[in-house]
Amino acid sequence: MEELLKCENLSFSYENTGVIKGLSFSVARGDYLCIVGENGSGKSTLVKGLLGLKSAAEGKIEKTKALGSGCIGYLPQQTPAQKDFPASVYEVVISGRLSSRGFRPFYSAKDKKIAMDNIRRLGVEDLIRRSYRDLSGGQQQRVLLARALCAGSTLLLLDEPVTGLDPIVTEEMYRLIDELNKKEGITIIMVSHDINSAVKYASHILHLKYDNSFFGTTNEYIESPMGQYFFSK
């Protein structure tokens, strides 16, 4: 399987305090990696590092040419202000093409087609003219996922995509992400607090714990001392 990114001996600090030390893992095309860990274990810091928004104190992140510009889609955690954003669903989705637009003042026909394709892909075409702020939490997340796919569909980086959703909508979102991975071959890296769902859907688990993190297949994680400790609680 083609390797998309490789991280070697990564260490990150936040406000001069080490949060991750000596972390190594890799992601291949078609993988579904869940990043789990307690609050403060460095999940958000690692996401920033993978996006190139934060430099590692030590180690390196290597990405192949397959993860060049326009290949990574990112769905961040929503803030209250973002949930109240006064734009139409179409405007939110097509804004995912901004990084690909370059210096062009307007969206191209290609941009518009990609936006509409992803609107249909996520099943939100009936909401296209609705205001984003008026949607339910689950509808908003589908719209943001469509936006992330507009930015890049080789790899999706999802930061707590089900936070605040009710159980039924949460399960729908998990199934949707799983279909994008299993049926369409999109590589997924998802940050989650929900370890039970992580082991249900993910092919690989990265459990962050300062200088003693676990990385491996889901089955290896379930059988590992770290996994056994969690599931025995």
Is the residue at 86 inside a domain? no
Is the residue at 207 inside a domain? yes
Is the residue at 65 inside a domain? yes
Residue 76 pLDDT > 80 = yes
Residue 102 pLDDT > 70 = no
Q: What is the pLDDT of residue 210?
A: 81
Is the residue at 80 inside a domain? no
CB-hemisphere CA count at 13 Å for 36?
A: 22
Is the residue at 111 inside a domain? no
Q: What is the pTM of this model?
A: 0.92
Is the residue at 107 inside a domain? no
**Spatial separation of the C-alpha atoms in residues 46 and 66, rounded to whole Å:** 20
- Indicate the number of domains in the chain: 1
Share of the chain above pLDDT 90, in %: 66
Token match 């080490």: residue? 18
**Spatial separation of the C-alpha atoms in residues 14 and 204, rounded to whole Å:** 26
CB of 178 closer than 8 Å to CB of 201? yes
Go through 69-93 and write b for each residue having 16 or more CB atoms within 10 A of its CB, e for each that does not.
Answer: eebbbbbbebeeeeeeeeeebbebb
Mean pLDDT of 212-228: 91
Is the residue at 55 inside a domain? yes
CATH number of 49's domain = 3.40.50.300
Question: Tens digits of per-residue pLDDT, 103-119?
Answer: 667 889 999 999 999 99
Q: Which domain holds residue 49?
A: 1-71+192-233
Residue 88 DSSP code:
B
Is the residue at 177 inside a domain? no
Which ranges in the chain belong to alpha helices (H)?
43-50, 80-83, 89-94, 98-101, 109-121, 137-151, 167-182, 195-201, 218-223, 225-231
